[in-house]
Structure 1
């Protein structure tokens, strides 16, 4: 983080600075400068850091203030005065709000230096993959900050912004939301020069209250953009395409549609990735050998290429960076090839109807002599009233795709198993298991050389660990 005085920080976040007798004895004053890494996790605090005590659903960050100080925190931001601390504390009404206010000011000050460009990315699916691709392209051209994992909410996004330094050239901000207004808040913190919307689907539809509420929330990415900014929009998604009418920014289209400014054509899917021709609005085109499995990830590559083009990255550099990426992220279409001829595709970090269908289509496209396709599936969470209908639809689709063997794990996905069974033309095509351990015991004995296994579920179902376990067993 930028160096700031304690008094500066207190003023920025609207808090009360409490130095404490011990800190005063050590010469700490209102003008003392701090600038270490900011975190809400005491386990991540490093010497010189700032710890934000955030009340949580299951625990209270104030309980971990001593641990943060022991790890080297030089300042704590709290919602109530804590006794006997050896470091100064700033007391605020809302520590999450304070975190956002601090991030907003840090971004503003670094922007004033004239070097920083900010990219904001949202969408129902693909945010993390696209963020990783954009980071891979941009970090070759200058210091780049991007979130780890899926740090894209009201806490994770500002924590990423607070990693900015005076020489940072690019900030890639992933922006998610669980309710309307959250993306607006993040956009106003970061003030993107480039705002990306990937797609609008049923992911988290249960939380939002339906697809129209999801659309309204994702549109928040572009409504605050300025005329000098660029909205990078998916022309193949009619809901996203409609956002062009909601923004003052210029629009750069990406997609497979012939009208797209940044377009992919001549797609060829293989078990190791996708080959496609990338075309830019300059008239240039190049073949890309993209090592991330699944044609649906080509859309993420196009979005990343569009961002890079907007930021004046040459086509050759874009292609070289895209071809250097071999996986989207840990647990996202992660290919774990085995020495016994068994391939595990672990894609169980998140699942929505759109991403589940995309993963299954990728599995269906993998063919060859001796190859048997196996789907190990768990619940798609956060669908609310749409859950039964969507699990039923996916179960029937699996059979229609011709996937030979289906393992369904967990009560939340039972409707998927029942639908596959009703749709199937023979008994035993789909098997149901209450737990991942039960599924593993059968898989361990049944898998054979040539099998390609897709493991897919929402994070809450925990099948990512089953995927890892299968990878270790057959590696």
Structure 2
């Protein structure tokens, strides 16, 4: 955290100061009282069920030196050191905007990357953080997880220190205007737009409205910025005229020959990991002086062919600020999943492989995960898909789930377990496509899914777990990875009779 006085916090947020103006915030800015430490600023966010102001006194007792709140919380004891504002969320953004502006004024070399898209934001953020990080770990902020909201992004920015040089930020949207707001808090020099899909389409109404919302990150670029666009996605590439019309540069990535940074000769191994040749068009950046195209081989550890696109987006942004293609390739080759429940692969001692991609789901990411499952299982192992609801799809939900059921059968997934009423039409689609007997099972909840898996998992199975985060199916992913579900597999494998013995 950049050290601030209480007076500076009040000035940045337009708040009323009810504290010694010389109080110094030297610790972290936190919105969870359990994370308060010495010198913290506690942000008392109001919520539907709890009001952060009710925890303010405890936060101060735990070491917070200042509280940002919408009201003075009642209670016995000494007056609390407060900055009182009309809207804490807006004030949090104002404070982050102020801190970033101060950092940029002190060091014009500070880079802000804004990453958006219907799929792949978090993985691209994790990869880019790895690609641009210097010898000092504090020089780059790329938070673990998805801190891409009106609360998460400002908190991420406020985690900076004077040593921070790179902010790698996700910018997510539940509705039009969300990304525009986030870009106003942390205006990027470089934006990365990955894909325009159907995530949260219930809140937008159309894919075209989603594309317009993704374009907000381009509108929010600093003057003379660079818009990095996925040339494999027609809707993303269609944003190029908006960028050039605002005076920004466009650099593209993808697998199409026209892309400035592209993947050639893509292959997928038996574990679902991609290899390709990274080809960088000469002179895409003044910082890397190459007259001719550069080609370097890349082998990813990440599971899933869709990660080729994420790797290209991250590589393009890193090269634009001066990282060499050779170093980019080296770092991509050692990258592991950086955030939980995103194609995290666990090889259990009993021979079961768990692919936990249960952080979130939409039709695009569901299809990508299922294809990875099919590749990893191949012809020798049994594929098992445990799928839950893809939420916020509006009136497209039934067809979207039904189509996933069709794909499951077409990919020859051997066992489908559909969990929860909202996902039922996946089961329906599988049945209509020709799934029969016990190949597709519908269960109402997690407990029933556990029972099915305990009974039917076999040694050597490859199991995919995927659903929207709010379904809670990620808990089952954790349990499967830990061996707490399907435990009888291990016992059965331990007592497997010798070849030829009676069964």
Q: Deviations over 1:120-155 (max 9, x none)?
A: 101111111000001111123551012231110000
- Which ranges in structure 2 are unaligned for 5 or more consecutive residues? 283-292, 491-503
Match of 1:47 in 2: 38
Q: Is the CA contact 1:115–1:168 (under 8 Å) kept in the aligned structure 2?
A: no
Distance 1:80 1:369, change over 3 A: closer
Q: Distance in 1 between matches of 2:464 and 2:116?
A: 26
Does the 8 Å CA contact 2:113/2:169 hold for their aligned counterparts? Answer: yes
Deviation of 1:425 (Å) = 4.8
Q: 1:322–1:150: structure 2 CA closer, same or farther, 3 Å change rule?
A: same
Q: How far does residue 272 in structure 1 lie from its aligned partner after superposition?
A: 5.0
Give 1:35's aligned residue.
26
Counting only pairs closer than 5 Å after superposition, residues 459-470 of structure 1 correspond to structure 2 as 459-470=469-480
Q: Distance in 1 between matches of 2:437 and 2:406?
A: 14
1:177 maps to which of 173, 176, 192: 173
- Measure how far apart 1:369 and its partner are: 4.9
Aligned to 2:128: 134
Following TM superposition, by how much is the alpha carbon of 1:347 offset from its aligned partner in structure 2, in angstroms? Answer: 0.5
Q: 1:425 to 1:221 in 2, by over 3 A?
A: same
Secondary structure in structure 2 of the residue aligned to 1:251: strand
Aligned counterpart, 2:370: 360
| Cα deviation code 1:279-324 (max 9, x no counterpart) | 1113111111101100001100000000101011011211121111
Partner of 2:276: 276
The structure 2 residue matched to 1:390, chosen from 392, 400, 403, is 400
Deviation at 1:226, TM superposition (A): 4.1
RMSD of aligned residue pairs (Cα, Å):
1.5
Gaps of 5+ in 1: 20-28
- Give the structure-1-normalised TM-score: 0.95
Q: How much does 1:259 deviate?
A: 0.7
Superposed displacement of residue 64, structure 1: 1.1
Q: Point out the more displaced range, 294-303 or 137-146.
A: 137-146
Tell me the distance in 2 between the aligned counterparts of 1:426 and 1:412.
Answer: 21
Cα deviation code 1:411-456 (max 9, x no counterpart): 1101111111111253322101111221122212212222111111
Q: Which residue of 2 aligns with 1:472?
A: 482
Partner of 2:104: 111
Structural mapping, 1:91-102, within 5 Å: 91-102=84-95
Aligned pairs (5 A) from 1:156-195 = 156-195=152-191
Counting only pairs closer than 5 Å after superposition, residues 413-424 of structure 1 correspond to structure 2 as 413-424=423-434
Pairs aligned (count) = 466
1:124 to 81, 103, 118: 118
Residue 466 (structure 2) aligns with: 456
State how far apart, in whole Å, the 1-side matches of 2:78 and 2:330 are.
51
Q: How do residues 275-354 of structure 1 correspond to structure 2 at under 5 angstroms?
A: 275-282=275-282, 283-354=293-364
Look up the match of 1:220.
Answer: 216
SS at match of 2:213: helix
Is the 8 Å Cα contact of residues 421 and 427 (structure 1) preserved in structure 2? no
